[in-house]
Structure 1
């Protein structure tokens, strides 16, 4: 089949290549002239045969909203837009409602796989109507991991793809996936720090690597930590500043709204906030309180001496 793909960055470019390897035609558009096959959204739509499927793979928020709305003015009844970025699930219903009067379908696809997806395949969590998802299914089949021999023998479709429900269900599922990812990464990080903090363990990278086989905590994330430690055994080349891309916050917001306890995921999100503070105001208050009620010592900020008083 034909697919229009907007956004040919690290993930989008690899996805286009994997889809092409499966025998499909991909016509790509990107703001960067060196990557794209056509020079405009108008040219992209004109190059596709109806009914068209256009996959949007640009940063979430306004870039995605603007792209979907622009496509809504260019596409026709029977066409389908797929949002494969990390959009908030509440945006999906807005887009679907805006496109519905024009007869344009909308599918939200949560995609996991990162830069490794080209070779390993991508996990896909999809929301939309049965009819719209069916129009995109050949592309989903090209992107997802291959079915194992055991699954083929059992007649199963294989993991890596799910039609999670109506519009919004795909991005909601990916949001929860990323919230779990936050907590797993935090646990691995804390375990690494404790191992590195004691003199007893002489080969911290080796211990981490030993966990990748035969243990209940083995995972792809653990494999990636092993790779990171192989490249930089003491993690000396990077700082401990960790960003969050939004999904962890949205997961905690939904936990509050639905009264679902999420202590691990919440703590992992707040730990990322703490990583951005070189001198935490919270811990300043804690230290001050310990000094006030118990006379516990505090570490005073060293006064900055005038230039004339500084040692040569």
Structure 2
């Protein structure tokens, strides 16, 4: 199948390369000439513009967007729409907010173009391991794209699924990432407790290796933590500052809207926010209050 790929960053380029290796003809566009050259070096036909990319594809066209969530998706659609025709399909494989995907789907539908929202997990390992894809869209669009998802997935029958209408793919990926926040926080806290027990002199890489096999807490996240502990046991040089890309916030907001209790995901998000506080006013006030009611010592800066 022919496919256009817009956005040839690391993940987009890896997806295009996996498709190319699977026998699909992929034409890719990225504003960066370096990214286009990298794609060309890996079997992807580069296009110098969106117009050139669309012109290379036979109708009905399928164009996969791998651009950051937010206004850049709308900007890309603004540029693409005049170039596309009824019957074409646009796939948003980024981490867009699901309500934005529903809105964009309605807009494209008015032009006779289908939107497929594909929540994509697997990161930089997807090229070799395959991607986990949660796909939203119409049955007709999914039928046309089935060979693409079968190629990108770990196998044709595992790691991907049509989960519902437009918006459902990004909604499912949003919750997936919220769960990921909680799992990561639990691992981080557990290893912090192990590290603090100095009298046992625990080898945390060894512990992680033990847990990787047969343990009920084994997972890919544990594998990643194990590798990190092997390379840098004390985590020297890594600042205790954890970013969030938005999906955790959206998941927490959705839990409130739906009246679903989600304390673990919520607290894991709050811990990420806390990691960025270099000068916590709240903690200073807590210390002052403890001193005020109990005479507890205040540590001075």
TM-score (norm 2): 0.95
Paired residue for 1:151? none
Alignment of 1:205-284 (within 5 A): 205-284=205-284
Task: Give, in whole Å, the separation in 1 of the partners of 2:138 and 2:78.
Answer: 20
Structure 1 segment 72-221 matched on structure 2, within 5 A: 72-146=81-155, 157=157, 159-199=158-198, 200-221=200-221
Equivalent position of 2:66 in the other structure: 57
The corresponding residue for 2:34 is 34
Larger radius of gyration: 1
- Indicate conservation of the 8 Å contact 2:204/2:229, yes or no: no
Q: Distance in 2 between matches of 1:297 and 1:72?
A: 65
Alignment of 1:5-44 (within 5 A): 5-36=5-36, 37-44=46-53
Q: What SS class does the counterpart of residue 116 from structure 2 fall into? A: strand
Q: State the alpha-carbon separation in 2 of the partners of residues 109 and 81 from structure 1.
A: 10
* CA apart distance, 1:118: 0.3
**How well do the aligned residues superpose, as a CA RMSD in angstroms?**
0.9
In structure 2, what is the Cα distance between the partners aligned to 1:135 and 1:241?
A: 43
* SS class of match (1:190): helix
Q: In the TM superposition, what is the alpha-carbon distance from 1:239 to its structure 2 partner?
A: 0.8
Q: Are 1:128 and 1:165, in contact at CA under 8 Å, matched by a contact in 2?
A: yes
Q: How many Å separate the matches in 1 of 2:246 and 2:144?
A: 30
Which residues of structure 1 form unaligned runs of 5+?
Answer: 148-156, 302-312
Q: 170-179 or 283-292: which moved more?
A: 283-292
SS in 1 for 2:35: coil
Alignment partners' CA distance in 1, 2:174 and 2:296 = 43
Deviation at 1:140, TM superposition (A): 0.6
Q: 2 CA distance for matches of 1:114 and 1:233?
A: 24
Distance (whole Å) between structure 2 residues aligned to residue 234 and residue 206 of structure 1: 14
Q: By how many angstroms is 1:69 displaced?
A: 2.4
Length, aligned pairs only = 291
Moved more, 25-34 or 68-77: 68-77
C-alpha separation between the residues in 1 aligned to 2:78 and 2:175?
26
Report the Cα distance in structure 1 between the residues aligned to 2:278 and 2:263, rounded to whole angstroms. Answer: 25
CA distance in 2, matches of 1:41, 1:6: 8
Instruction: State the alpha-carbon separation in 2 of the partners of residues 136 and 208 from structure 1.
Output: 40
Residue range with higher mean Cα deviation, 96-105 or 218-227: 96-105
CA offsets 1:47-77 (integer angstroms, 9 cap, x no match): 1000000000011101111112221221000
Runs of 4+ in 1 over 6 A off after TM superposition: none
Distance 2:110 2:169 in 1: 22
3-state SS in 2 of match to 1:163? strand
Q: Distance in 2 between matches of 1:286 and 1:238?
A: 28
Check the 8 A contact 1:56/1:68 in 2, yes or no. no
